[in-house]
A = this chain, B = another copy of it.
Amino acid sequence: MATGATPETGAGTADTVSASVVGASGFTGGELLRLLAGHPRFAVAQATSREYANRTVGSVHPNLRHLDVRFVSPDEIEPVDVLFAAMPHGASMERIEEFRDLAGTVVDLSADFRLDDATKYDEWYDGHTAPEHLDDAVYALPERHRDELPGADIVASGGCNATATILGLGPLADADLLDGADVVVDVKVGSSEGGAGGGEAGSHPERSGVVRPYAPTGHRHEAEIEQELGLSVSFTAHAVDMVRGASATAHVFPEDLPTKGDLWTAFRGAYEDEPFVRLVAGGGGVYRYPEPKAVAATNHAEVGFELDERNDRLVVFSAIDNMMKGSAGQAVHAANVALGFEETAGLDFQGLHPVGAP
């Protein structure tokens, strides 16, 4: 077993398995490092970065200055129990053979292994170069694939906007409440979604204070949503002024408007035992509906709804931290399930109040 882990990161006990992060200088790679370093069952073995090789991870991720781990070149990656790949779309599938040889479990955070069907990938992204591995991949969301994750070879962590949407609409789709419905999903996301190299549009002067329709139509996450929900949604994404967070508002015009009772039955049935989903609908106080702020820095999702009887419309709200439930947290949660760990291990942070634009 390859470790290389430092004492700080708790390697070498009988209870831990080793984990490496490929692409660890990016935002999601850094978030994975943070979660794995604080995880009772994982020991960080290697963190790769070509650009920052030999520098400490804290030189890029200032919150990890305490960690005594240095980046290694991706060419020097060694065998490990679990390999987390946090690379751009297209890059993971190029190296999937190598990754599977190196590790018993590959957790991929790109879009490369999310779609079951290579032709769908070709349609929404570029041509898939490793379609023969798609059958070995499980979509990571435990709320929908808990039974398929144990022992999975490849775990494909979902897209952040797709995750928010699927968590909001999944129970309704499963309860056949969306059959024949027109569904609009209007998403608001933070700037971390774009990664560290945002270019001019992502520079602070241009990106501050925006309400910017950055994906008015044709967002690639529609493909995942359709696969997971079995229905097509009309998706639009807006960039707003926060760094972390994704909020999905689904406007649904069903053939028959369900009752509040139907909705509570569907949502409670789906989520009452879920450790990371909270139902939030109405009540008093400042925070009456799902909000990204309420789940910032956590792996929680909030889901809620409201009926608009005047317009025969159902509105479903969901909110996540795109870096956590929408990416690295989801990946660790799924890895916990895949490896038989306690589901919430390493993911117990309870969020903040108050908190600004996380």
* Chain B, residue nearest A315 (CB): B216
CB distance from A30 to the nearest CB of B (A): 5
Cβ contacts A50-88/B at 8 Å (1 or 0 each): 000000000111111110000000000000000000000
Query: What's the tally of chain A residues with a CB closer than 8 Å to chain B?
Result: 97
Inter-chain contact B350/A34, CB cutoff 8 Å: yes
Q: Pick from B38, B64, B212, B317: contact of A291, CB below 8 A.
A: B212
CB pair B357–A356 under 8 Å, yes or no, is yes
User: Chain A, 180-208, contact with B by CB distance < 8 Å: what is the 0/1 string?
Assistant: 00101010101110101110111111111
Q: State the CA gap A207–B287 with chains docked (Å).
A: 10
Q: How far is the CA of A222 from the CA of B308 in the complex (A)?
A: 12
Measured CB to CB, the closest approach of chain B to A36, in angstroms, equals: 11
Asked whether A354 is an interface residue with its Cβ less than 8 Å from the other chain, the reply is: yes
Residue contact B353 to A64, C-beta cutoff 8 Å: yes
A127 interface residue per 8 A CB criterion: no
Question: Which single member of B65, B247, B280 contacts A294 (CB below 8 Å)?
Answer: B65
- Verify B253–A182 contact, CB threshold 8 A: yes
Interface string of A29-56 (1 = CB under 8 A from B): 0110010011000000000000000000
30 contacts between A and B (CB under 8 A): A38-B348, A60-B285, A62-B293, A62-B294, A62-B353, A63-B351, A63-B353, A66-B350, A182-B182, A184-B251, A188-B211, A196-B354, A202-B203, A204-B208, A206-B286, A209-B241, A210-B291, A210-B293, A211-B245, A211-B292, A211-B319, A213-B291, A216-B317, A217-B306, A218-B308, A232-B311, A253-B253, A297-B352, A355-B358, A356-B358
Closest 9 CB pairs of A and B: A209-B357, A63-B351, A243-B356, A205-B354, A204-B207, A356-B357, A62-B294, A217-B308, A62-B287
Q: B-contacting residues of A (Cβ < 8 Å)? A: 27, 30-31, 34, 37-38, 59-66, 182, 184, 186, 188, 190-192, 194, 196-198, 200-213, 216-218, 222, 232-234, 236, 238, 240-245, 247, 249, 251, 253, 278, 280, 283-295, 297-298, 300, 306-308, 310-311, 313, 315, 317, 319, 323, 348-358
